[in-house]
Structure 1
Amino acid sequence: MSRFSHSRVRARLAWTASTVLALSLGSVAIGHAQTSSTPPLTLPLAFAQAWERQPEAAALLQRRQAGESLRQAASNWTPAPAALEASVRSDRFNRRQGAQELEFGVAVPLWLPGERERSQALADAHLDAVERQALLAQWQLAQSLREHWWGLLREREELRAAQERLQSTQALASDVARRVKAGELSRADQNQADAAVLLAVSDQAQAHTRVMASEQSMRALLGLPAEAALLMAPTPEPEPAGDAPAHPLLAALQAKAQTARSAAALAKAQVRASPELTLLHTRDRAARGEASNGTVTLGLRFPLGSSDRNKAAVLSAGAEQTEAEVLLARERERLMAEQRSAQSALDAARAVLQATRDRARLADETRQFFDKSFRLGETDLPTRLRVELEAGQAQRDLARARIDLNLAIATLRQRLGLLPE
């Protein structure tokens, strides 16, 4: 290859590397410029912002109002509103002697024995289930947010490590080009150095693409516009200390079981339709010109027997209760196993971080040694490139290990049912 061709290749290589590096650094610079007066977004703030956009949050107020309405209905004196009755009888269309009877009154439905108390218990269970379901939805959202949050921070750390590796290989390629020009190294060494730069460019471009995709996913979760900057504080969550509160999933299943239990108890009390107390006032006149007589009637309507609909309600509520209790036991066993696994993963992440930190320190020292010996002509280029590659990989693994430790803490908190704080 001619000297002119080598110059063109190196110029194109430099332009490609600088373009890719400028794109990534430019996007980061724009983000910092747009948020110069805005504090970094923390995980709890991101969680609150994401929760406001959830359909469960939008419907929570109406669900609470519905539960309060059920409680109010169960606290009334009657299971249903009273009904007014009115009727008139007359001989106007046949004999026409002026006979007339007017009757009007009120019918009041009555609670069955134990029905009112059990209706109140069902209303309380329903309100508790509404709150537990909202907490469960928050816990499920926290899992998705944590995965997006720490995944994006990991991608950014890998992009930073890729940028540092690109800059290091560019500096090495420039030194090799100078020594090739001086006749100290061959064209083959120049090709190897240029190939290392191209590999670093490729890795950096792929890392930049992953960061862009993760940022778009995070913006969609938070409801931010596509051009909005994401300045995130990589503050780890506090490690769990002491006994954790009731797990949202278990609490939701317990509330579901209690609701079914209360519904079954109410269905057993509603063995028949509600009895009715009637109070009627009647005024009648035998013929035109005669005096009217008035009477008062007090009556009780009491349905007999039970319906198949009531039996179906009892059986259905019992099935719901059984399903919730069995599922509660299974989920408790599964969550305990996941908590033990998450704790083991956290311990392993700590060990990996310490080993990776030591490895990165040793790799950096080795790179400095071989860089000095390479400049003195005591080390060949393939060895220098291999050492550079190992040092770059060690730095990338260290960045990933830091994020993995924070993710392991977040995962343990998730398994324990703790929300971001």
Structure 2
Amino acid sequence: MPRIERIFCIALAVLGGSVGSAWAQLKPPPAIPGPAQIPNSAATPPQPGFRPAPPVASANTPVLTLTEVFDAAWQRQPEARSLQARQDAAAARKEAAASWTAEPVALELSGQTDQMNNNLGRREYTAGVAIPLWLPNERSRSMAVAEAEQRATASSTLLAQLQTAAEVREAYWSWQLARIGFVLARERLLNAQQLTADVSRRVRAGDLARADQHQAEGAQAGAEAELAEAASALAAAGQRLRALSGLTLPADATAQPEALLTEPAPELVRDASALGDRHPAVMELLNRTEIARRSAELAQARTRGTPELMLATGRDRGAFGDSYQQSVTVGVRIPFGSDSRNRASISSAQAQAIEAETQLALEQGRIQATLDSVQVRLESTRTQLTAAERRAQLARESRAFFEKSFKAGETDLPTRLRIELEAIAAERQAARARVELAATISALRQALGLLPQQNTP
């Protein structure tokens, strides 16, 4: 071959290699999979030298706070939708108790005639009113019952809010834990793909055996299975939270454990009696007891049926040609008392009061036991978080050391895989400890009867 042709062929080969190298550098790295995009073992591994950065939540990604979920969930509750009607009913009962008459005034109209008989011209027309009268002390005690029922309406609403908050807190922190578990599982898969690509390159170069590539691919397959399981758990937790609140959950699952919006830690209360009547459950039982007591007092005042004052005026004549005569009638209608009915009302109200007082004592004991349990759990969780964060820091440093050592050929693959699993386990433990601490603070606020309230970012 002439010299000029050989030079031309060499130039073409060099140019082709340069274009191929440039094209390889322009190929984008593999996209981070989402919950519905779980990679399989047949996927092409990342390019050698690619190191995925840890997932970071976008600054523009909306953060779904616990308070937002609670507000949305409460608006869907039957107690919230019927609140206005129950408040109107309580106000109407109080207004009725403040009336000057025990029941509405009745109008009575009547007429008499002999037109259907001998028709002598007898006519009589009467118009009157019947005014129900309060029994002694009945009006004031009816007012006391109406005021107690009005307070009970507010306390029952607050108790319903606290019960909704318990469901929301449990579902919200379960969802947060599932999100973080998914992110850690995805990060493990990316690391496993990177390691598999590195091992494949070294196997082709003859530095490692084929068995090492099988071990790396097996670790990648295990990471894929773990990611699929984490995606399933995230979907289940999201469905539960969505069913409770009706909100559309953020599509971005890149939640960082350090960025959790926790509730403010409340002041520790060792004795439940120090809460007084601030706890919604205690307030509800106190109001129920007050209603029962007031009802018993009202039953004692109602010793008989409602008496009536009757005022009437009449106009009558005896026969044709007689002048009409005007008359006025004043009367009182007093029902006889019923001792058995009165005793039944009083005994029923007293039984309700005893039940409410007994339930109050049991509820205070339950609150005290919950406070003791949650406070011990809070101290334990803080200790676990400190140890878990220390372990995660050491594991990250160890992984960096062994990664460099493995690339230099000073560490075998089984050791490298073990260090990787230990680092992932340490990160998972630290992330779970952060969520557990946030959930424990929420549990403490729940035990104290406080509604959800989150710190600002």
Q: What TM-score do you get using the length of structure 2 for normalisation? A: 0.82
Corresponding residue number in structure 2 for 1:65: 88
Q: Is the 8 A contact 2:105 2:129 kept in 1?
A: yes
- Indicate conservation of the 8 Å contact 1:216/1:226, yes or no: no
Q: Which consecutive unaligned segments of at least 5 residues does structure 2 have?
A: 1-29, 39-56, 270-274
Which amino acid in structure 1 is aligned with residue 232 of structure 2?
Answer: T
Q: What percent of counterpart residues are identical?
A: 45
Corresponding residue to 2:160 among 112, 127, 137:
137
Task: Give 1:23's match in structure 2, choosing from 14, 34, 42.
Answer: 34
Q: What secondary structure is seen at the aligned counterpart in 2 of 1:24?
A: coil
Counterparts of 1:188-207 in structure 2 under 5 Å? 188-207=211-230
Q: Decide whether the 8 Å contact of 1:367 with 1:387 is kept in 2.
A: yes
Match of 2:133 in 1: 110
- Matched residue, 1:241: 267
CA–CA distance in structure 2, aligned partners of residues 129 and 177 of structure 1: 72
Could you tell me which residue of structure 1 aligns to residue 48 of structure 2? Answer: none
Which secondary structure does the structure 1 equivalent of 2:385 belong to?
helix
Other-structure match for 1:148: 171
In terms of mean alpha carbon deviation, does 288-297 or 405-414 score higher?
Answer: 288-297
Matched, 1:293 2:304: no
In structure 2, what residue type is equivalent to 1:220? A
Task: Within 5 Å, give how 1:161-310 maps onto structure 2.
Answer: 161-224=184-247, 234-241=260-267, 246-306=278-338, 308-310=340-342
Q: In the superposition, relative to structure 1, how do residues 231 and 75 fare at CA in structure 2: closer, same or farther (>3 Å)?
A: farther
Mapped contact 1:103–1:283 kept (Cα < 8 A) = yes
Distance 1:225 1:162, change over 3 A: closer
2:115 maps to: 92
**What TM-score do the two structures reach when normalised by structure 1?**
0.88
TM-aligned CA distance change 1:63 to 1:213, over 3 Å: same
The superposition leaves residues 136-169 of structure 1 with CA deviations (integer Å, 9 ceiling, x where unpaired) of 0110111111111111111111111111111111
AA in 2 matched with 1:121: A
Report the number of matched residues.
397
Corresponding position of 1:4: none
> How far did residue 279 of structure 1 move?
1.0
Q: The residue matched to 2:267 in structure 1 has which SS? A: coil
Matched, 1:322 2:354: yes
Q: What is the deviation of 1:411?
A: 0.6
Residue of structure 2 in register with 1:399 after alignment = 431
Aligned residues of 2:94 and 2:146 also touching (Cα < 8 A): yes
**Which AA in structure 1 matches 2:113?**
S
Q: Would the aligned equivalents of 2:292 and 2:350 in 1 still touch at CA under 8 Å?
A: yes
Equivalent runs, 1:400-415 vs 2, <5 Å? 400-415=432-447
Match of 1:344 among 376, 379, 382: 376
Aligned to 1:47: 70
Partner of 1:101: 124
Relative to structure 1, the CA distance from residue 363 to residue 231 in structure 2 (aligned partners, 3 Å threshold; closer, same or farther) is: closer
Q: 1:281 to 1:230 in 2, by over 3 A?
A: farther
> Structure 1 residues 95 and 140, CA, compared in 2 at 3 Å: closer, same or farther?
same
**Cα deviation per residue 1:258-299 (whole Å; 9 max; x = unaligned)?**
112112221221121100001122222222112222221211
The alignment's C-alpha RMSD in Å is 2.3
Mean CA deviation greater in 317-326 or 193-202: 317-326
Q: Which residue of 2 aligns with 1:3?
A: none
Residues in 1 aligned to 2:200 and 2:62: alpha-carbon distance in whole angstroms: 45
**1:68 CA displacement:** 0.5
Name stretches of at least 5 consecutive residues in structure 1 with no aligned partner: 1-17
Change (3 A) 1:69 1:235: same
* Alignment CA distance shift 1:365-1:229 (3 Å): closer
SS in 1 for 2:108: strand
Alpha-carbon separation, structure 2, partners of 1:308 and 1:82: 28
The change in CA–CA distance for 1:53 and 1:231 in structure 2 (over 3 A counts) is farther
- State the one-letter code of the partner of 1:158: G
Q: Which structure is higher in helix share?
A: 1
